[in-house]
Amino acid sequence: MKLGITSDHRGYKLKEQTIKELLKRGYEVIDFGTDSEESVDYPDFAFILGENVVKKRVDFGVAMCGSGAGMTIACNKVKGIRCANIVRKEVAETARNDDNINIVAIDENTLLEDAIDIIETFIHTPFSTIERYQRREKKIQRYEEANYVR
């Protein structure tokens, strides 16, 4: 499993800790930055992660920032991305199963062990084959195709 991970300056410390732990667990991780706690603009990093998820260079994405909200908003501007700001592993499971998210956003104040639980739950939960979830996914894709402006 290949994971892409990114952060802004506020999510940097958690990102670095998370990468080390994911590597210990045998995941392949591609770090899309940032490389320090120096202030940066989170959309720049969110867009890079989103494009790499859409182009299937990574299987899933993880984005970290101060609140998780900024990364969520920016990632969702990339066509084909479904990112959610997740605070508990139970929500990660539901968001993946029901909504087919492909990037999880986590806030900087999340404990490392909780971040790992969220990420592992997210990546190991398949998207549901139940018709209503599949139907909703198709509606989102159709809307995105019909209304996408670049």
Q: Residue 9: which CATH number?
A: 3.40.1400.10
Q: What are phi and psi of 78, to 5 degrees?
A: -85, 125
Whole-model pTM: value is 0.95
How many domains does the structure of the chain reveal? 1
Q: What is the pLDDT of residues 132-145, one digit of tens each?
A: 999 999 999 888 88
Q: What is the pLDDT of residues 117-132, one digit of tens each?
A: 999 999 999 999 999 9
d(CA 35, CA 16): 9
Q: What is the pLDDT of residues 64-96, one digit of tens each?
A: 999 999 999 999 999 999 999 999 999 999 999
Task: Indicate the average pLDDT of the chain.
Answer: 96
Domain that holds residue 8: 2-147
